[in-house]
Structure 1
Amino acid sequence: MPEEPNLRKLDARSLRGLAHPLRMELLSALRRHGPATASMLAERLGESSGATSYHLRQLATHGFVEDAPDRGKGRERWWQVVEQGISMTDDLLQSPDPAVRGAADTFLHEVATDHARDVSTFVATRDDWLPKWSNHAMDLSDFTLRLTPERSRELITKMHELLKSYDTFEADKDNPEAERVRVHTHLFPITTDGKEPQ
């Protein structure tokens, strides 16, 4: 796939620095809601400001967040994300170092938890979005296909290209009916017909 702007590629060190449930929640909150202070994030996430402050500093050490220079007054420290996206390569999942593999597992489980939280939040608040976001303007579908790894990679690339084409659709930028939407893509093999993974 081509290089994407504003995308952080994880290495073993940065993965270990990120792979913590609260750090990933903090990073996600800053991405979705913009710059904030440790106290604001603590209130949003139901944590202590001491915990959010510590983990924000750890994220900064690894280059995920930085000071937001145009925000804050006096001793108030505002944080913002450095990149909007994260990419993890297969070599981290297959690392000979058990600490790196453990961090990769934590990272993937937290991503899955975050996705499940997004869907559950929407289902719990769906009445707030009706009637505009009915009539197939939202979707909770799943499909089972039979694909080779190569065809799976091709499908993922095409889905990502299609999604990016919608993100740059200028007509929606200033449309008062346009809302930020979350799109999750999950593609993974499953065992079927009693067959074991090869």
Structure 2
Amino acid sequence: MLDVSVIENPEAAATSLDPIRSRLLAELAAGPASATMLAARVGLPRQKVNYHLKALEKHGLVELAGERKKGNVTERLMRATAASYVISPMALAAVQPDPARFRDQLSARWLLAVAARLVRDVGTLITGADRARQRIATFALDGEVRFGSAADRAAFVDELTRGIAALVAKYHDEEAEGGRPHRIVVALHPTVKTPEAPAVTSGGADAAAVEPAVGRPTTPPEEAS
């Protein structure tokens, strides 16, 4: 089972958003179960559960985990293909956010458009890598900083901008033979209060995201690719 699976198909997205099917996905993410077992858990007739399972299976959201004999009946045990799912903006291709339509680094909506593009692009990379049975080199940082004042925040953003610009100038090689462009996204926003504080994680180096979850920048960092 994958930790996260990307849903790009509009029909698959609609299927996953159905409340009953979403509940079944959650049940099957916890472990394999038959339609009979699920029917008892969700309070629906087995035939109706089977109908929803077929729709989920059609779009690759659940899969056969095994079979077992129960008297003269053979039950199919199904499981979710992932522990969680994320719907890519590709599912709304005609109206997906496009950061190129406007560029306002002080706009939370532009930040949302950039984040949506990140989900779309990384989702596309994951889908392609899964089909090719390859891994993707990625890197991400997730942290939090508490500023004492708006002036401190502005100074932080200015220093961050200059630091990243220097790194890009140092390592960017437009004419490198066999080189591959990488996108850098730096986001700064007020922390959304949750029960648990975010942890710092890291990986490889294909899609890079540095997102200290803090205040809105006064002097926004540039995005480089």
TM tier, shorter chain? 0.3 to 0.5
Give the TM-score of the pair, scaled to structure 2.
0.40
More helix by share: 1
Larger Rg: 2
Give the TM-score of the pair, scaled to structure 1.
0.45
